Amino acid sequence: MKTTLALALLAAAIALPAQAAPDAAAALALSESNKCNKCHTVDKGKRGPSYKQIAAKYKGQADAMAKLSTMVTQSPKVKYENGDEEEHKPLNTKDPAKVRNLVEWILAL
Ligand code: HEC
């Protein structure tokens, strides 16, 4: 009985459409070529939070994709701890596939 159930679950898992994992190398390269790493690195926040902090903040939020995509393609105002306000630096591309890959990569950290 147990084996049958396990096999059924396995079959169901295989049948699910494979979700491609984000391309980390491409995401990192995009972040570096856009000088995002002046303010964010994977582990360390500089003027902005680290990408891991961002992932933790948005964990489980359904609209994370949309919010972060806006953040990196538009230039919303961001506030620094010292009270300075600045327009957030947008990516030099609006290619939806590249933006999506970067945001998915950040959220999966
Ligand atoms: C001059 C410094 C600076 C640069 C350059 C910069 N950011 Fe940011 N970024 C910030 C700050 C500060 C915040 C925090 C905003 C807040 O919490 O309100 C932030 C927040 C974010 C967030 C999270 C937004 C949130 O709601 O928590 C993402 C994602 C992000 N940046 C991505 C990028 C990407 C991608 C680039 C490169 C195109 C980039 N940043 C370049 C300073 C910067």
pLDDT tens track for 41-95: 999 988 899 999 999 999 999 999 999 999 999 999 998 888 999 999 999 999 9
Residue nearest to atom 3 of ligand 1 (CA): 39
Residue nearest to atom 12 of ligand 1 (CA): 48
Q: How far apart are CA 11 and CA 31, in angstroms?
A: 38
Pocket test for ligand 1, best of 28, 32, 35, 36 (most atoms within 8 A of CB): 36
Question: May I ask the CATH architecture of the domain 34-109?
Answer: Orthogonal Bundle (1.10)
Domain ranges within the chain, ordered by starting residue: 34-109
Q: How far apart are CA 58 and CA 55, in angstroms?
A: 5
pTM above 0.75, yes or no: yes
Q: Is the CB of 88 under 6 A from ligand 1?
A: yes
